[in-house]
Structure 1
Amino acid sequence: MLVEFAMQHAWLVPLLPACAFVVIVFLTRPWQKLSAIVAVGSMAMSCVIATLAAYGIFTNHEYIEKPLVYATRWFSLGLPGMPDLLVEVGVQLDPVSAMMMFMVSFIATFIYLYSIGYMEGEEGFSVFFSYLSLFGASMLLLVISSNLLQMFIAWELVGLCSYLLIGFYTHKVSAREAAKKAFVTCRIADFGLLLGLLSLQIIFGTLNLVELSDKIAHFEEYTTFGMITLIAVLVFIGPIGKSGQFPLHVWLPDAMEGPTPVSALIHAATMVVAGVYLVARTMFLFHEVPSAMQLVAVTGGFTAFFAATIAITQREIKRILAYSTVSQIGYMMLALGVGSLSAGLFHMWTHAFFKALMFLGAGSVLHALHHKADVWEMGGLVKKMPITAWTFVVGGLAIAGIPPFAGFWSKDEILVAALGGGHYVLFALAAFTAFLTAFYMWRMIFLAFFGEENPENHPHESPWVMTLPLVVLAAGAISVGWLGTPWHNIWGEWIRFGHPHHGPINYGAMIGSIVLAAAGIYLAYTLYLKDAKKKRARRMAEWFGPVYRMLYNKYYIDELYLWFNHALVDGTARLFYLFDIYVVDGIVNGIGAFARFSGDGLRVFQSGRLQNYVLVFFLGVLAVAVLMAFSGPSATSLLLGGVK
C-alpha cells in the first residue's frame, strides 16, 4: 500500500523541499537550527517517498517497458491556423526517472546534514538552507517531469539556484563574479535549448515526452532530416552549458567559490548531471540523427581528455575535483553518444556517490585547515583526520577504476561500449583519460593526506554531522556499482534504450583498464609520495615548462574569452556607439538644427504682428521708388516689366 501511495503521489517528492523553502523564508529564518531541521527533514521525507516509488517501478516489469504517467491540464491556447496548444503538468515514472529521483534525494539528504556542521556560525545560515531546499526541489521536479516545457522551467530554476548558491558569499568579489559567470554561460546555452524546444512544439505540436517519442520515430511525416538534425543540435547546446562540456566548461571550476556543500550538490547529484539526464531523456531524438549522436560522443570524449589534462597541474583541492567532474561528465556524454544509455547513466549513478563523497571530504579538510586549499601546503592529514582521509581514499579508488569499487564497473561499461561500437579513437581517448584520472586524483590524495605533515597546520577531525555522510557515501562508493557487474547486469535490465543487450564479457578491456588505473596511481606514488622532496615532480614541471604553464592556465581559454569579450564584443559595441552618436544622432540632430536655424530666420519675417508687415511693405515700396528715381531708364523699364 505504501509503495502504491508513493508511486501515485510522487509529486510530493519535489513539493516537500519546495514547501521547506517557503517555510524557512517566511517563518523559521530567525531560528537557524529549526531552519536546518526543516530543510533536512523535508528532503529526508522526499527520499523515503522516492525510495518507495523507485522500488515499485523496479519490481514491476510493466513500468520498465511503459512509463507510469499522470498529468493534469495547466493551460490551453487556441492559435489561428495552428493546432491548439495544450500544456500539461505531470509526473513520468520509469526506471530512468525513478533512479534519478532516488539518487538526488538520497545524496541531497546527506549533503544537507553535512551542511549543518560546515555552515555553523556562518552569516545567512537559514538563507543558505532555503536556497538548498529550492535547489533540491528544482532538480527533483526536473527529473520527474512528463514534458519538456515543465522540465525547462525546472532547468531554469536549477540555474537560478546555482547563481544564488555559488555567489552566497556576497562579500567575496570572486564569488560574485563566479556566480555571474555561471549564470551568463548557462543562459547562452539555454538559448539554443529554447530554440530547439520551440521547434519541437511547432513541428510536432507537443512537448510531452511519450507523444514526442512516438512522433519522432516517424519524423519524415512532419519534417525533413535536415530540420530534425538542427533540432537535435540545438537541444544538445543546453547540456553543453549545463553539464560543463567544452567549450562552455569555463563556469564550472569557478563555481568552487561557493560553499563546499554547494559544490558537492552541483557536481554530484544536481546541476551538471541535468544535461546528461536531458540527453538521456531525449535519446529518442538523438537516436534518429546519427550525426548528432556523433557530436555528443566526440564532445564528451574530447571534454573528458581535455579536462583531465588540466587537472594534472592544478593545486587547489576543489579545483582539481571540479575539472575531474568536467572530465567524468564527458565520459557520460561519450557513452550516450555511442548509443549506450545504460553505460552513460550507470556512470552518472556511481559518480554521484564517489564525487559527492570527495567534495564533502574536501570540505572537511578546508573546514579543519581554515579554508587553506592548496594541496602542496597540506600533507599528513591522515593522522589527524582518519575518517575524512580513509573515506576520501575510498572515493579515490572508485574514481580511479579499481575493482570492486563502483567507478570500475561503470567506467568499464563505457570503454566496452565505445570499443564494441567501433569507435576506436574515442576508446583510446577514454582509456588514456582513465590513466590521467587515476594519476591526478592520487596525486591529490598523496599530497594532501600522506607524506610529511605541515607544521603550520593544526587539523582536527570534523563533527559527526560531517563525518556520518562521508561514511554513508563511502559505503555507496564501494557497493552501488555491483548492480552493473557484467556477470549479472541488473542495471542493464532496468536502465536501457530499446531491448536489453548482453554481449560477451570483454576481459581484455577490463584488465587493460585496471592496468591503466594502477599505472596512474603508481606514477603518482613515485612522484609525490616515494620522493619525499618532490624533486622529480618539480623537475618534470621544469622540463615541460611551456606545456605545464599551458595546462596550469587551462589552455588560456578564459583569457581567450576575455579577449573576445573586450576586443570583439566591447569593440563592436564601441563602433555601434560611435555610429549612433555621429551618424544616427548626427543625421537626426542635423535635421533638427537645420529646422531650428530656418525657423529662427523665418521668425524675423513671420512674427504675426500687422504693424511689422506694414513696415516691411512700406520699406519695400520706398526702396522701389528710390531705385526708380535715381536709376536710369533701363532700370525703370526692368522694374516696370518693360512698360513705357
Structure 2
Amino acid sequence: MYQTIVFLPLIAALIAGLFGSKLGNRGAQVVTCGALVVSAVLSWVAFFQVAMAPGDHSTHVQVLSWIVSGDFNVNWAFQIDSLTAVMLVVVNTVSCLVHIYSVGYMSHDPHIPRFMAYLSLFTFAMLMLITSDNFVQMFFGWEGVGLASYLLIGFWYKKPSANAAAIKAFVVNRVGDFGFALGIFAIFMTFGSADFAVVFANVGDYTDQSIHFLGMDLDLLTTICILLFIGAMGKSAQLGLHTWLPDAMEGPTPVSALIHAATMVTAGVFMVARCSPLFEYAPAAMEVVAIIGASTAFFAATVGMSQFDIKRVIAYSTCSQLGYMFFALGVGAYGAAIFHLFTHAFFKALLFLGSGSVIHASSDEQDMRNMGGLRTKIPATFWLMTIGTLALTGFPFFAGYYSKDMIIESAFAAHSSVGGYAFAMGVAAALMTSFYSWRLIFMTFFGESRASKDVQDHVHESPQVMLFPLYILAAGAVASGFLFHEYFIGANYDEFWAGSLFLIGENIMEAAHHVPAWVVYSPFVAMVIGFATAYYFYIKEPSMPGKFVKNFRFLHAMSLNKWYFDELYDIIFIRPAMKLGYILWKRGDEDIIDRYGPDGVSAAVVRVAEKFKKLQTGYLYHYAFAMLIGLSAFVSWFALGGN
C-alpha cells in the first residue's frame, strides 16, 4: 500500500509528461487526478491504521539497496509512523484537491499536460521526503521539492517576472540547502551512518562532545542542529531566508496553494519534528528555533497588513503561521506544531484556492484596490473564504482555534525568557493576523466595486470543478480542529504519536493545559481587536487607512516595503557580487586568461605565421634562389666532412 501511495504520483507525472501530446489535455488530467485520488484515499486508510488505531503500528518498508560505497550504505526505505501518516494525509489530500481545482483553473492554458506532470512530480518529491528513513533519502526529496517548485513557479516562462521569481526561489533555497547538507555531513562523520534509527538511538552518547567548525570549538549537537535548521529556514521561509516566498506568487494559483499549504514550506517543520531526538539534546539550538520562529511570525504579520496583492497577503500569512510552528518546535511543543501544520493545510489551501476563484472571476485581477462588492456576485467564493478566514484568525471551534491557541499557551508554559518572547510575539501576530485577514475580506467582497466597467460586466462564479475542492477544504477548516485535537494535543497524545515525537522530561503541552485564564483568552482578545480595527478602517470609516498612512509614514513604508529586506540584500550581496563578477571578467578573464591563454596563444600563432608568410612571395626566381642556397649549403656540409 505504501509503495502505491508514494509512487503513483511519480508514474502519473511520467505518463503526463512523456505522453501528454498523445493523451491530450483531458487524458493528462484524468491520469494525474486519478492517481492522486487513489493516493489520497490510501493515505487516509494509513492514517487510521497507523495513527488512530490503539497501540504502536509503526512499520518499516524496504524498497531497495540504494548506495553502497565502503562504510557508506544507504537503503531506499519508508519509515511509516504517526508523524509520517499525518504528513501523508496533508500532502496527498491537498495535492489531490489542487489537481482537481487545476482542471478548471488552467482550462485555457496551452500546456496543461506539462502543468499536471509538474504538480504530480512535486507531490512525489514531497512524499519521498516525508517517508524517508535516512537523511540522504530525505535530502533527495528535499532537492526534488526545490526543483519542482522552480519548474512550477516559472511555469509561465515567457513572463520575465515568473522566471525571475523561479530563479530567486531556487537560489535562496540553495543557501539553506548548503547548511542542511553540512548538517548531514556532520551527522555521518559523527555517527558513521545517515539512518534515523542509528543516529537517534546513539545521540545521547554525544551530549558533551565538541566539533571544530569555522575555526572554533563548538558543541557538536548544537552545531548539527543549527545547520539542519538553516536548511529548514530556507524551505520554510523563515526570517532571513524568506524573501523567495512572496515572489513565488508569480506561479499559477494552484501552485501557490500546493507550496504554501502542503508541500515545500512544510518540509522544514517536518524535518525539525522528525529530528526531535537531536534537538532535544541541543537546548541552545531549540532556543534559536524559537526566537527565529517567533520573530518570523511577528515580521510577516506586520508586512501582510499593508500588501494589496490578494495572493501576497495570504503568502505572508503563510510565512507568519510557519513562524508559529517553529516557535512551538523551539519550546518542545512538537505535537502542537504538527497539529497546526495539519489544520493550516486545510484553511490555507482554502484561502489560496478561494483567491484563485476571485482572480478567475475578476478577469485575472489580483490587486484588492481594484475589487470590492464581490459578495453578491460570487457568493459561494465569499462564504468559503470567510470560513477560511475564521479558521486562520482562530475563531472559536474552527480549526485554527485549537492549534494556534495551543502553540501560544505552550510558549507561555515554557516559563523561560525565550518562551516569554515567543508568547508576546505570538499574541501580537494573532492581532495582526486577524486585521489583515479581515482587511482582505472587506476590501475584496464589501463596499462598492472599484473594478472597471468591463471587468464588472464579466464577473462570474467559478465552475463546480473549482468549487468542489473548496467545499472539502472548508469542511476541514471547520471540523479538523475539534475532531482531532484530543489526539494531536490532548488526552490521547502519547498513544497517538506512539514515540514518533521524542521528548526529554515533561510534555510542555501538559503544562499548557494549566496556564492562567488570561493567557488562554489573550489570542481571542487579540483576534477580536484585529477584527474590530479592520472593520472600523475598511467598513465604518474607509478614510482611516489614508489618515493612518499620512500620520505614520515610516511604519507604513517599513510594512509596505517588507522591512526593506530585498533592498538590503541587494546592497550587501547582489551589488558586490555583480561588481566582483565584472572585475573578474574584465581583469581576470579578459586581461589575464584570454590575453595569456587562448587569445594570447592564437595571436602568437598569427604573428609567427605572418613572419613566415613573407617568405612566400610567389615569384619563381625567389624559390630558385632559395633552392640554390640550400643546395650550396648541402654540398658544403658534405665537402667539410659531414656524415
TM range (shorter): 0.7 to 0.9
SS at match of 2:56: helix
Corresponding position: 1:11 with 2:3: yes
In structure 1, the residue matched to 2:65 is: 74
Corresponding position: 1:188 with 2:189: no
Whether the 8 Å CA contact 2:339–2:489 is kept in 1: the answer is no
Whether the 8 Å CA contact 2:256–2:352 is kept in 1: the answer is yes
Cα 1:115–1:72 shift into 2, 3 Å:
closer
- Ranked by relative contact order (alpha carbons within 8 Å, sequence separation 6 or more), the top structure is 2
SS at match of 1:313: coil
For 1:435, the aligned partner's letter is L
In structure 1, the residue matched to 2:544 is: 536
Corresponding position: 1:301 with 2:294: yes
Q: Could you tell me how far 1:237 is from its partner in structure 2?
A: 1.2
SS at match of 1:403: coil
Q: Could you tell me how far 1:231 is from its partner in structure 2?
A: 1.6
SS at match of 1:63: coil
Whether the 8 Å CA contact 2:235–2:268 is kept in 1: the answer is yes
Instruction: Choose which of 545, 548, 553 in structure 1 pairs with 2:553.
Output: 545
In structure 2, the residue matched to 1:38 is: 31
Instruction: Choose which of 497, 506, 510 in structure 1 pairs with 2:502.
Output: 497
Q: Distance in 1 between matches of 2:597 and 2:93?
A: 64
Within 5 Å, which residues of 2 pair with 1:144-159?
144-159=131-146
Cα 1:230–1:49 shift into 2, 3 Å:
same
Q: Could you tell me how far 1:62 is from its partner in structure 2?
A: 3.8
Q: Distance in 1 between matches of 2:601 and 2:98?
A: 65
Give deviations 1:444-480, integer Å, cap 9, x for gaps.
1111012223463242111111111111111110111
Corresponding position: 1:463 with 2:463: yes
Give deviations 1:14-48, integer Å, cap 9, x for gaps.
20111111111233444111211111110010112
Cα 1:61–1:591 shift into 2, 3 Å:
same
Q: Could you tell me how far 1:211 is from its partner in structure 2?
A: 1.5
SS at match of 2:372: coil
For 2:187, the aligned partner's letter is L
SS at match of 2:2: coil
Q: Could you tell me how far 1:510 is from its partner in structure 2?
A: 2.1
In structure 2, the residue matched to 1:336 is: 329
Q: Could you tell me how far 1:371 is from its partner in structure 2?
A: 1.0
Give deviations 1:144-187, integer Å, cap 9, x for gaps.
11111111111111111111111111221111111111111112
Q: Distance in 2 between matches of 1:146 and 1:314?
A: 41
Q: Could you tell me how far 1:514 is from its partner in structure 2?
A: 0.6
Give deviations 1:361-387, integer Å, cap 9, x for gaps.
000000000111111211111101111
Q: Could you tell me how far 1:70 is from its partner in structure 2?
A: 2.5
In structure 1, the residue matched to 2:619 is: none
Cα 1:379–1:489 shift into 2, 3 Å:
farther
In structure 2, the residue matched to 1:630 is: none
Within 5 Å, which residues of 2 pair with 1:252-291?
252-291=245-284
Cα 1:614–1:304 shift into 2, 3 Å:
farther
Q: Distance in 1 between matches of 2:460 and 2:433?
A: 29
Give deviations 1:91-120, integer Å, cap 9, x for gaps.
111111000001111111111111111011
Whether the 8 Å CA contact 1:484–1:492 is kept in 2: the answer is no
For 1:106, the aligned partner's letter is T
Corresponding position: 1:522 with 2:532: yes
Whether the 8 Å CA contact 1:342–1:497 is kept in 2: the answer is no
In structure 1, the gaps of 5 or more residues are: 1-8, 616-644
Q: Which of these two proteins has the greater Rg computed from alpha carbons?
A: 1
Corresponding position: 1:115 with 2:102: yes
Q: Distance in 2 between matches of 1:272 and 1:411?
A: 17
Give deviations 1:297-332, integer Å, cap 9, x for gaps.
111111111111111110010010011111111111
Cα 1:21–1:585 shift into 2, 3 Å:
closer
Q: Distance in 1 between matches of 2:104 and 2:222?
A: 49
Whether the 8 Å CA contact 2:386–2:441 is kept in 1: the answer is yes
Within 5 Å, which residues of 2 pair with 1:389-538?
389-422=382-415, 423-454=419-450, 456=453, 457-458=456-457, 459-482=459-482, 483-484=484-485, 488-490=490-492, 493-495=495-497, 496-498=501-503, 502-503=510-511, 504-506=513-515, 507-531=517-541, 534-538=542-546
What is the TM-score when the length of structure 1 is the normalising length?
0.87
In structure 2, the residue matched to 1:238 is: 231
Instruction: Choose which of 560, 565, 576 in structure 1 pairs with 2:584.
Output: 576
In structure 1, the residue matched to 2:15 is: 23
In structure 2, the residue matched to 1:621 is: none
What is the TM-score when the length of structure 2 is the normalising length?
0.87
Cα 1:577–1:10 shift into 2, 3 Å:
same
SS at match of 1:218: helix
Within 5 Å, which residues of 2 pair with 1:180-219?
180-219=167-206
For 1:426, the aligned partner's letter is A
Percent of matched pairs sharing the same residue: 38
Q: Could you tell me how far 1:433 is from its partner in structure 2?
A: 0.6
Cα 1:487–1:199 shift into 2, 3 Å:
closer
Give deviations 1:251-278, integer Å, cap 9, x for gaps.
1100001110000000000111111111
Whether the 8 Å CA contact 2:20–2:114 is kept in 1: the answer is no
Whether the 8 Å CA contact 2:291–2:421 is kept in 1: the answer is no
The two structures, once aligned, show a CA RMSD in angstroms of 2.8
Q: Distance in 2 between matches of 1:521 and 1:40?
A: 38
Instruction: Choose which of 168, 177, 190 in structure 1 pairs with 2:164.
Output: 177
For 1:100, the aligned partner's letter is M
Q: Distance in 2 between matches of 1:587 and 1:34?
A: 59
SS at match of 1:168: coil
In structure 2, the residue matched to 1:383 is: 376
Cα 1:382–1:208 shift into 2, 3 Å:
same
Q: Distance in 2 between matches of 1:560 and 1:447?
A: 31
Whether the 8 Å CA contact 1:354–1:477 is kept in 2: the answer is yes
For 2:9, the aligned partner's letter is P
SS at match of 2:61: strand
SS at match of 1:434: helix
In structure 1, the residue matched to 2:615 is: none
Cα 1:587–1:439 shift into 2, 3 Å:
same
For 1:539, the aligned partner's letter is K
Give deviations 1:202-233, integer Å, cap 9, x for gaps.
22111111211102122259865623222211
SS at match of 2:461: coil
Cα 1:518–1:590 shift into 2, 3 Å:
closer
Whether the 8 Å CA contact 2:134–2:196 is kept in 1: the answer is yes
Cα 1:584–1:402 shift into 2, 3 Å:
same
Whether the 8 Å CA contact 2:369–2:450 is kept in 1: the answer is no
